[in-house]
Structure 1
Amino acid sequence: MPPSSDPDAPPCQVAPALVDRLLDIRRIYHERDIERFPRARQVLDRFPDAERIEVLSHQVIPGLYGNEGNVGDWVRNKREVLVLGEKKSLAARRNERSSDWIAPSTANGCAMACSYCYVPRRKGYANPITVFTNIEKIIAYLERHALRQGRKPEPNQCDPVDWVYDIGENSDCSVDAMVSDNVRDLVDLFARLPNAKASFATKLVNRDLLGYDPRGGTRVRFSLMPEKTSRLVDIRTSKVADRIAALDDFVEAGYEVHLNLSPVIVHEGWLDDWAQLLDQVADATSERTKAQLAAEIIFLTHNEDLHAVNLGWHPRGEDLLWRPDLQQAKRSQSGQCNVRYKSPWKGRWVQQLTALLADRLPSCRVRYAF
């Protein structure tokens, strides 16, 4: 089944209220001759009134990226700006934590504005959605890559049977699906691959995905944290209660559904808040959903540069995220200055939360925790 990039195909259909809440696209930056891709034409048709601005590269947009003055327009740029480009370098990277492989991105950036998100660190003062329009090439690459792997030789923490490909490392696929059919094409691909499964984490309930036909080939990891913490740092996302309410529906639609308990943010009374959240999940989900649940638990890693950016548009969130009394600096492989919770405190906190999960939601196994 080929990707749905027929030039005569209608644009993706998304609930208008959801689109209106997150997107009001007024400017589309695009690489030269982008309309040679059917997917680009679909997106341009989706937003016909947007100003079109040609740029040399989706990665180099003067006045948008690298412009410190854009911090004050952080959310406005997410709402009003879209970028179209070609994904020129295709490679699946080994991961072996949440997934076996990180798939080549079909999008980058997000219309939501979680203040702890690591993706903006690389862009510089603006982080709107970039859509990669050469979806046919990406799909073909992934299909060849998955088939070359053959059968998975043994179970691992990613999956007991399938090779797992993370298709949303640099974006939220539930949001991407509001802009183009790239996500639908990926779900269709993994529905037919005999030995591979797609996976993505999301903080948005996009019920249009319930109309896809995943046939067990896509794992949706709903990100959860206590509601009062989420209200402060999960900007422009779905309410946590709405995410929990969607779990059964996505299972019934043929998705595998896991929980992404992330990021775990430590503060006074944090463990009591997590107990309440896990009780909510237990009370709201069916036995069928509970039986297939698994969780990954990821404690907060913050970044010095992102902290500085956040102070320019959402300083209240930094009261939770930037805690020098609890955190220690750690230089990343790319040379950035990150902060993580101090050892050995973090180890004890991981044990406390995993024990709490075993008590409040015992059917939910932990795939990994750190």
Structure 2
Amino acid sequence: MTAGDALTLFDDPDPVSEAPVDDRMLRVRQIYAEPAAASSSRGRQVIARFPDAEVVEVPSHWQIPDLHGNAGNVDRWVRVKTETLVLGVKKSLAARPNERSANWIAPSTANGCAMACAYCYVPRRKGYANPITVFTNIDQITGYVRRHVARQGVKPAPDQCDPVSWVYDIGENSDCSVDAMVSDNVADLIATFRGLPTAKASFATKYVNRQLLDLDPAGRTRIRFSVMPDDDARLLDIRTSRVDERIAAVDDFVSAGYEVHLNLSPVVLRDGWERDWTTLLRQLDDTLSPAAKAQAAAEVILLTHNRDLHEVNLGWHPKAEDLLWRPEIQQPKRSGNGQDNVRYRNDVKRAGVATLRSLIAAHAPWLDVRYAF
């Protein structure tokens, strides 16, 4: 059935907020939906934004044979991201401690992404395809977040996440800037944290969505624009906003009431990387306003890769693996979620972090590094 047919099975949808969809990013033709998700207010909103899409009922957002574990989707890697959405209900609500980028990882309101960064860890858990899954029980999620924040009380001491506020990452498994085109989940999260004086939301992004400028975050949401040298990004950051566009947007988001940090991520070690990161740091220094620099901070994250994802990439984007797969300087790393990853050898990584810190000190001394790993 089409989305229009599906809507006739339920009450009339709530009015659809105007959120133009970038049709270069999303041309949705198929929406897999759990019945409870499709019939919810948020589910009806998503379906109404894509009126020509076919709605296919599924028992679970994790049980979609055409997507999960279908190796044939390697040949359709980007097409699946462009043309498919999934609607589900988030069953388990929990905030996990993090203590790196954020104090807590908030319950997801989405996972998967319409972009196709070659090093992304999310598809490692979903098997050959990771289009956006929207969790429609947003009121339950925001209610849980409010209660969790209340239980923490006032933050007792500064830490590397923030000197005053508890920080909650709201986009661990997705890119919130793109999610905001699909539903109002991100707008609802930003509104939630606007009313929480002891906490702030945080998410990393590689997409400049200027609709977010109208959401009045009141300083309670931190956006972390991920940046890397443009030559690396053109090869590895597929379907994202160009790095120049991300940098150019920083001042506008600061003016709109966001705290804006930078993720220097991932740092890919290859011939000439020091020269290209020097160019990028000088660009940041030349471009950002004094107001943006005064509130900026950075995370430095050297590349971690994955053997299974390496095999997937060889099926759709093998050139990326020339940079990402460097066994002569990499070592195995067992991740916290049980994945078999690879990262740079300890000595190589240690030297890379030290070099980048020295480049930051020389060319962007205003940029405080919150952590590096």
Which bin holds the TM-score, normalised by the shorter protein? Answer: over 0.9
Q: 1:238-253 counterparts in 2 under 5 A?
A: 238-253=241-256
Q: Which residue of 2 aligns with 1:319?
A: 322
Give the alignment partner of residue 143 of structure 2, picking from 140, 144, 147.
140
Structure 1 residues 110 and 361 mapped into 2: Cα distance closer, same or farther (>3 Å)? same
How many residues end up aligned between the 2 structures?
A: 363
Identity %: 65
In structure 1, what is the Cα distance between the partners aligned to 2:348 and 2:28?
45
Q: 1:336-355 counterparts in 2 under 5 A?
A: 336-355=339-358
* 1:9 positional shift: 4.4
Q: Which residue of 1 aligns with 2:367?
A: 364
Q: 1:18-29 counterparts in 2 under 5 A?
A: 19-29=22-32
Residue 11 (str. 1) matches residue 22 (str. 2): no
Q: Which residue of 2 aligns with 1:288?
A: 291
Give the alignment partner of residue 124 of structure 2, picking from 114, 121, 134.
121
Residue 96 (str. 1) matches residue 99 (str. 2): yes
Q: TM-score, normalised by structure 1?
A: 0.96
Return 339-348 or 326-335, whichever deviates more: 326-335
Residue 38 (str. 1) matches residue 41 (str. 2): yes
* 8 Å Cα contact 1:158-1:164 kept in structure 2: yes
In structure 2, what is the Cα distance between the partners aligned to 1:146 and 1:312?
44
In structure 2, what is the Cα distance between the partners aligned to 1:113 and 1:303?
15
Amino acid paired to 1:350: V
Q: Which residue of 1 aligns with 2:5?
A: none
* 1:148 positional shift: 1.1
Runs of 4+ that moved beyond 6 A = none
Q: Which residue of 2 aligns with 1:153?
A: 156
Q: TM-score, normalised by structure 2?
A: 0.95
Residue 163 (str. 1) matches residue 166 (str. 2): yes
Return 28-37 or 306-315, whichever deviates more: 28-37
In structure 1, what is the Cα distance between the partners aligned to 2:369 and 2:257?
22
* 8 Å Cα contact 1:97-1:157 kept in structure 2: yes
Q: Which residue of 1 aligns with 2:237?
A: 234
Q: Which residue of 2 aligns with 1:3?
A: none
- Structure 1, gaps ≥5 residues long: 1-5
Partner-residue secondary structure (3-state), 1:22: coil
In structure 2, what is the Cα distance between the partners aligned to 1:349 and 1:64?
38
Amino acid paired to 1:331: R
* 8 Å Cα contact 1:7-1:42 kept in structure 2: no
- Structure 2, gaps ≥5 residues long: 1-10
In structure 1, what is the Cα distance between the partners aligned to 2:254 and 2:183?
23
In structure 2, what is the Cα distance between the partners aligned to 1:15 and 1:266?
38
* 8 Å Cα contact 2:13-2:48 kept in structure 1: no
Q: Which residue of 2 aligns with 1:182?
A: 185
In structure 1, what is the Cα distance between the partners aligned to 2:160 and 2:331?
28
* 1:182 positional shift: 0.2
Amino acid paired to 2:102: S
* 1:363 positional shift: 1.0
Amino acid paired to 1:97: R
In structure 2, what is the Cα distance between the partners aligned to 1:148 and 1:265?
40
CA RMSD of superposed structures (Å): 1.2
Residue-by-residue CA offset, 1:249-297 (whole Å, 9 max, x unaligned) = 0000000000001000000000110000011111111000000000000
Amino acid paired to 2:15: P
